[in-house]
């Protein structure tokens, strides 16, 4: 079960605003699964069945940080980035 740890903030360099906050501590079970606490899911507006993109940040070829991003949010960004490239082009099917 997830254990909530006090809200620790990590200050950005030269900034008084926090950029990150320890929301909770979770454990990976024997099957490699983890559970996001209800409070985290609610805060992120995550619904059952929602897809998340996993981004791995590496330091010296070792994963040091994982970020979860809603696929629905990334789809919007990709569409905005890619759509202008294809405007006016005829696509063959």
Higher confidence at residue 33 or residue 14? 33
For the stretch 42-93, pLDDT in tens is 999 999 999 999 999 999 999 999 999 999 989 888 888 888 888 877 666 6
Global pTM exceeds 0.85? no
The domain segmentation of the chain, as residue ranges, is 1-46, 51-88
Q: What is the DSSP string of 42-91?
A: HHTT--TT--EEEEEEEETTEEEEEEEEEHHHHHHHHHHHHHHHHTTPPP
Look at residue 4 in the predicted model and tell me its pLDDT: 46
Look at residue 82 in the predicted model and tell me its pLDDT: 87
Look at residue 2 in the predicted model and tell me its pLDDT: 47
């Amino acid at each position: 079960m997830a254990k909530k740890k006090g809200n620790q903030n990590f200050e950005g360099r030269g900034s008084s605003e926090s950029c990150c906050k320890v929301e909770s501590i979770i454990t990976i079970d024997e099957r490699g699964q983890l559970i996001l606490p209800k409070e985290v899911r609610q805060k992120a507006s995550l619904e059952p069945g929602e897809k998340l993109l996993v981004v791995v940040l590496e330091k010296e070829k070792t994963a040091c940080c994982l970020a979860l991003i809603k696929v629905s949010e990334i789809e919007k960004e990709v569409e905005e980035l890619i759509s202008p490239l294809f405007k006016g082009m005829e696509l063959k099917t």
